[in-house]
Amino acid sequence: MTKTIAKGATQRNTISWARFFQLLWLRRVIQLYFVLFITKVAVEKALVGEESAVFVPGPESYSPFGGFEGLYKFVTSGGLFIAHTHWSNLVLFGTVVLVALLTKSAFCGWICPFGTLQEWLGSLGKRLGLRRSVPQRIDSILRNFKYVMLVWATVGAAVTGVMVFRDIDPYHALVAAAEVGFASSTVVLLITLAASLFVERPWCKYACPLGALIGLIGHLSLTKVERSENLCKKGCRLCDKSCPMGVEITAAKRVGTAECNNCLTCVEACPWGALDTRVLTLPSISREVT
């Protein structure tokens, strides 16, 4: 089924429900791949354990934030890794930085398994009628907390040589449940999962230090979502309503805010073809969402 849009719009701007589902399901497939991958790693590690003569990597080996936490020690000690980190963590951290520079926060929107899990729970919560909106003022204040987490985790690891964030990391509690048992990180995990039923991606929005870091790096990204003033019918606000991160897309021409995770849901939701991904060209004068 094809739906034509505003008079004067070009052919390429006509939306197709088939195309909508293509990108939508492509994203689902990619997200599912990474969830299944880390699940496989976690299950294998839980079954084999630490004592076995056969080594299998643990899910912590695939944590990019672990690479960031250990970066200071790695650099200052001439190549030593802090506990629970390896070359894989460092490489993945570098990978996340590269992805952020090229595609802004797409790691969060397309790859991160923990973000995907929250998204799935959010969809379930919406179907069950549990979805709630956080008051704007409270939401604005809470969004800053993830930067506090970032500073704490960074400084803590640099000073102590230990991943202080690991003690409350819900991702670690989830993927290493057999090892962690019931700890403070488990409490954080349960709260996050429960909150996900009511609020979209609560950990991503309010507490994820990696997301905070990616958002900061993403300001340097060459590609961002842009809105065409000519094609946009701001009254529909379908983009604003579809955004899982609660970004007010209609407020600016270019979505440069660190809150945007580049999931492209807004791009696909727009019936006017007014949103698109664009590579920035100089000079860039557009006012960004703050």
Partner 1 sequence: MRVNKFVYVAIILIAFFIPYGLAKAGGYWSTSGKFDGTGTPIVATGRDTAEIKGWMTFDDISQGYKVSIDEIVTAFDLPKEEVSPDKTLNKMESTSFSVTKLRQWLDERRSSSP
Query: Cβ closer to partner 1: 6 or 162?
Result: 162
Contact between residue 208 and residue 142 where contact means Cβ atoms under 8 Å apart: no
Please measure the distance between the N-terminal and C-terminal CA atoms of the chain and give it in whole angstroms. 37
Q: Which residues ranging from 49 to 68 are in contact with partner 1 (CB under 8 A)?
A: 50, 55, 57-58, 61-62
Question: How near is the Cβ of 276 to partner 1 at its closest, in Å?
Answer: 5
Partner residues linked to 15 by β-bridges? 3
Indicate the residue among 240 and 276 with the shorter CB distance to partner 1: 276
What does the buried/exposed string (b/e) look like for 160-190 if buried means 16 or more CB atoms within 10 Å of the residue's CB? ebbbbbbebbbbbbbbbeebbeeeebbebbe
d(CA 59, CA 51): 16
Nearest to 23 by CA among 281, 275, 285, 257: 275
Q: Which is nearer to partner 1, 26 or 216 (CB)?
A: 26
Query: Least distance (Å) from partner 1 to the CB of residue 56?
Result: 9
Rg (CA), the chain: 20
Residues in the chain: 290
Identified binder of partner 1 from the candidate list 14, 39, 186, 223, rule CB under 8 A: 223
Structural contact between residues 90 and 67, judged by C-beta atoms closer than 8 angstroms: yes
Degrees (nearest 5) of the Cα angle 196, 198, 204?
40
By the rule CB under 8 A, 88 interacts with partner 1 = yes
Q: Which of 87, 140, 237, 287 binds partner 1 (CB under 8 A)?
A: 87
Give the Cα separation of 174 and 172 in Å (integer): 5
Q: x/- string (CB under 8 A) for partner 1, residues 126-165?
A: -----------------------------------xx---
Q: Which is nearer to partner 1, 68 or 110 (CB)?
A: 110
The string over 106-133, giving b where at least 16 C-beta atoms fall within 10 Å of a residue's C-beta and e elsewhere, is: bbbbbbbbbbbbbbebbeebeeeeeeee
Site for partner 1 in 89-108 (CB under 8 A): 91-92, 94-95, 98-99, 102-103, 106-107
Residue among 89 and 192 whose Cβ is closer to partner 1 = 89
Site for partner 1 in 244-283 (CB under 8 A): 264, 267-268, 276-279, 281
Q: Does 27 bind partner 1 (CB under 8 A)?
A: yes
Is 56 or 142 the residue whose CB approaches partner 1 more closely? Answer: 56
Please give the backbone phi and psi of residue 106, each rounded to the nearest 5 degrees, phi first. -65, -25
Q: Which residues bind partner 1 (CB under 8 A)?
A: 23, 26-27, 30, 50, 55, 57-58, 61-62, 73, 77-78, 80-88, 91-92, 94-95, 98-99, 102-103, 106-107, 110-111, 161-162, 223, 264, 267-268, 276-279, 281
